[in-house]
Amino acid sequence: MDLQFIRERISILRTKKNVSEYRMSTDLGHSKSYIQSISSGRAMPSMSEFLYICEYLGVTPKEFFDEGLEEPQLIQELNQLTKSMSEEDLRVLIRLAERLQNS
């Protein structure tokens, strides 16, 4: 994992969120070219900015760096939804996921 991975991952997750570089830059409180400069390799975010970027993209830092997660934003959304579920509902959800995985 290297700086190229970070740049590409930001671009991929931003695209999945359907947000332009310009909008993401301004939403994060930066100049309109901030994310473009990261994507092009001219700049890298500080640690605090990286954490803001993860929050903005709807992923945890762990999910950001997990190369095996194709859809970390959806995993995060599902995780949030399951936090308030009963044990019975969680077991139903697990059975459904297993069924879908095997089909």
Q: Would you tell me how many other CB atoms lie within 10 Å of the CB of residue 99? A: 9
pLDDT digits (tens, 9 = 90+) for 29-48: 999 999 999 999 999 999 99
**58 Ramachandran zone, left/alpha/beta (phi>0; psi -120 to 50):** left
The predicted model gives 71-94 an average pLDDT of: 92
User: pLDDT-based confidence at 95, cuts 50/70/90?
Assistant: very high
Domain spans of the chain?
3-102
Which of the four CATH numbers 3.90.1150.10, 3.40.50.150, 1.10.260.40, 3.40.1190.20 does domain 3-102 have? 1.10.260.40
Quote the CA–CA distance of 86 and 65 in Å, as a whole number.
30
CA 102, distance to chain mean position in Å, is: 26
Quote the CA–CA distance of 51 and 93 in Å, as a whole number.
30
CA 59, distance to chain mean position in Å, is: 4
pLDDT digits (tens, 9 = 90+) for 51-73: 999 999 999 999 999 988 888 88
pLDDT at 67: 86
The predicted model gives 7-36 an average pLDDT of: 95
